[in-house]
Amino acid sequence: MTSIYDAIKKDHDRHRELLNRIAETEGASEERKQAWTEFYRDVKSHSAAEEETFYSKLMEQTWGQDAARHSVHEHAEMDEILEELREMDMSSSGWLTRFKTLKHDYEHHMEEEENEVFGRAKEVIGQEENDAYGKRFHDRKQKELGLIEEKREDALED
């Protein structure tokens, strides 16, 4: 089984690839649409699973509360941009400008998690629990993939 850290890092690596692929495409091309759809769905399910498995555990520690709140806040900000982009015309210059903001912010977020949060998190989720948390993350992410539209509709009703 994959450790929680490897599972999150693997997703991040895929997200970086997709961000770069989207940035290299133009307009509303099929390639951009496909990469965007994969990125949108994977980030939505990744963020929710990360909050529910990884960050909820970190909140048991005083320092973890601030780290978790900070990351969850960044998730919320990125979620807003994801939804804006989903509604915009992909071939507009406004879409690309907003996408570049998302790309910059998300790359910063991933780097911060990997270089700062992971090190401290290993004090809470140690070697003996890595795989169990990795499985919880993976299972929750799969469940979240099926909830994306339902959650989106609920958010639109608010």
Tens-place pLDDT, residues 18-40: 999 999 999 999 999 999 999 99
Counted domains in the chain: 1
- 8 A C-beta contact, residue 85 and residue 153: no
Domain with 67, as residue range(s), is 4-157
* Domain at 132, CATH number: 1.20.120.520
- 8 A C-beta contact, residue 104 and residue 9: no
pLDDT in tens, 62-119: 877 888 899 999 999 999 999 999 999 999 999 999 999 999 999 999 999 999 999 9
Q: Lowest mean pLDDT: which of 38-52, 89-103, 127-141, 142-156? A: 142-156
Q: What is the pTM of this model?
A: 0.91
Residue 149, amino acid:
E
Share of the chain above pLDDT 90, in %: 75
Sign of the CA dihedral 106, 112, 117, 119?
Answer: positive
